[in-house]
A and B are shown apart, each in its own frame.
Chain A
Amino acid sequence: MSLLDAIELNARYGDALDRFDLLAWKALFTPNAVYRAQARENFDRGLPLAAIYLDGHGMMADRIMTIEKTLVFAPRFVRHLIGLPKLVGNSSARTPFCIVQTVTTTLPEILATGCYHDTLAATPEGVRLAARNAVYDNALIPNSLVYPL
């Protein structure tokens, strides 16, 4: 696992979400990967609740289905500004992020800023996320968290 692998993975991750290509987003996880978007207050205190908690590709697909078919929300753009990963051991990384949201017709605002806590896996298709917890520092979300962080 090289730094370049991790950077490449994050570049694809942010690009997929910012283009609303949610299937490409899902494909960056291993089939049994766990994705969480969790407030830092829960993470730091060992409380298990996450705002989004998806256990495997099936639940990720269901979240995508709800975003595309059932949720009601004002149109918006998101922009993932992902910093440089800090590799930790052989298969883990911590990577800072800042995600800016622009709800159409209003000014941009910071939706979340925090740190990805990742477990990485080498697969035949390349490096994938075996677990990602997007731990956001801002306990308060400006109303809605529609797309994964």
Chain B
Amino acid sequence: MNQSAEWLPLSSPTPFRNSGTHRIPNRVYTDRELYEREMAAFFYKGHWCYVALECEIPNAGDFKATMIGERPVIVVRDRDGSVNVLENRCAHKGAKFCQKEFGNAKVFVCPYHQWGYRLNGDLAGVPMKNGVGGQGGMGADFKLEEHGLNTLQVHVHNGIVFASFDPNVEPFESFVSAELMPFFNRTFDGRKLTLLGYNRQRIRGNWKLMQENIKDPYHPGLLHVFFVTFGLWRADQKSELRIDPHGRHAQMISTRNSGGENAEVTKGVTSFKESLKLEDPRLMDVVQEDWWGGPTAVMQTIFPSVIIQQQVNSLSTRQIIPRGPDEFDFVWTHFGFADDTPEMTERRLKQANLFGPAGLVSLDDGEVIEYCQQATTAYPDGECVVELGGKDGGQPTPHMVTETLIRGMYRYYRRTLGL
């Protein structure tokens, strides 16, 4: 993994004021220099980043343009069925040559000077390479094979596609970790996926705040009035937190209860509203699926780039695309399974009302992330207190009343960035 030794000294000392990670300095959300290090160390090196679901590019030549960190890439299905991930950057003048987000191509041609690339990134041809009428042209030492598109490492795992700029990235399964692979494979077990569609939002907050949000089982039963009132996620649910040994990835696993009042989790909670009822219960028409094997919600953070959601019958990947220290795009790709009945597809689409920029629970998250960014930016010398459940540096836990997963992420963060 990335060791601190390779970094130039920071122009200011570590913003952390003690050796633990139970206090998070506001500067990690606002500092441009730290942000550049995060991009280099997390998004461009040593990590597998989410790029696509296979069902987005089912046929040879199908492509999807997306981002890893701030870098544009193309995910394309090659003729032999394999998936390639290429830099969306012409080897000639550096143009982001593919401007369509989805499509089908036999070759990629940069419009500027029509350099043409095969689906594996090889440079197939260059206009006027041999000159015109004996004049001009490329030199004798110009070799097409030296000017292909940069290609990334690719791992296709039962329908979900990850890529890495790092040729030495560790194998995917060890990256995710033995601790987390079982629940990762619970969703991606080889069944064919179907694409339901996208939601995209721009959130004016630091990208790590979204990772933290899905490593934080403290907030859902408090912030999300909808969750607590209708029993989807509460502190009194049977639950478990898993975390990889580095502290970077995590899973929040829980089983819903019947809702209603429970003195310990609702009495002091001003957001609980016993009197609320749904006029149309189809919004929450939850049907148990065999593959769940019990838990009704598994929320996974695969650091740094993606969140994988199963919340009752709603499934999505949520890709994090940073845009500087104070803004990121959040791309939701909702999916189902090829053997879903029409009724199950309809159920997934109705439950999608809970998620995305208009989500009856997720809307709250985007809002509070912006609230955090607004004040941490204004008070850069402040720090956040992350001490629920102790001051440990991230450990598996048989309950949800803890912020241990956030502490785990910052343990990994400090170690990897040498802070």
A interface, CB within 8 angstroms of B: 37, 39, 41-42, 45, 47-59, 61-63, 65-66, 69-74, 139-146
Contacts and interface: CB of A to CB of B under 8 A. Distances in A.
Interface in B327-380: 329, 334, 345, 349-350, 352-353, 356-358, 360, 363-364, 366-368, 370-371
A115 B356 CA distance: 21
Interface in B68-124: 101-102
Contact of B199 (A48, A51, A56): A51
B200 A49 contact: no
Q: Is the interface of B mostly helix, strand, loop or mixed?
A: mixed
B197 A144 contact: no
A58 B278 CA distance: 8
Nearest to B196: A49
Contacts of B350: 53, 55, 59
Interface in B369-397: 370-371
Interface residues of B, number: 42
Nearest to B101: A41
Interface stretch (B147-155, B177-185, B201-209): B201-209
B198 A139 contact: yes
Contacts of A144: 201, 357-358, 363, 366-367
Given A39-B199, A47-B195, A59 B349 contact: no
6 contacts: A39-B198, A49-B198, A59-B350, A139-B200, A141-B201, A145-B356
Interface of B: 101-102, 195-204, 223, 225-226, 229, 271, 273, 276, 278-280, 282-283, 329, 334, 345, 349-350, 352-353, 356-358, 360, 363-364, 366-368, 370-371
Contacts of A146: 358, 363
Contacts, number: 130
Contacts of B203: 143
A145 B358 contact: yes
Contacts of B229: 70
B21 to A, nearest CB: 27
A140 B371 CA distance: 20
A71 B363 contact: yes
Nearest to A36: B349
Contact of A74 (B195, B358, B367): B367
Contact of A62 (B198, B199, B279, B363): B279
Contact of B370 (A53, A66, A140, A143): A143
Contact of A69 (B202, B204, B225, B370): B225
Pick from A39, A57, A72 the residue with the most CB of B within 10 Å.
A72
Contacts of A69: 225, 273, 276
Pick from B199, B201, B329, B364 the residue with the most CB of A within 10 Å.
B199
Contacts of A143: 201-204, 357, 366-367, 370
Contacts of B358: 37, 51-52, 141, 144-146
B201 A70 contact: no
A47 B197 contact: yes
Nearest to B363: A144
B360 A66 contact: yes
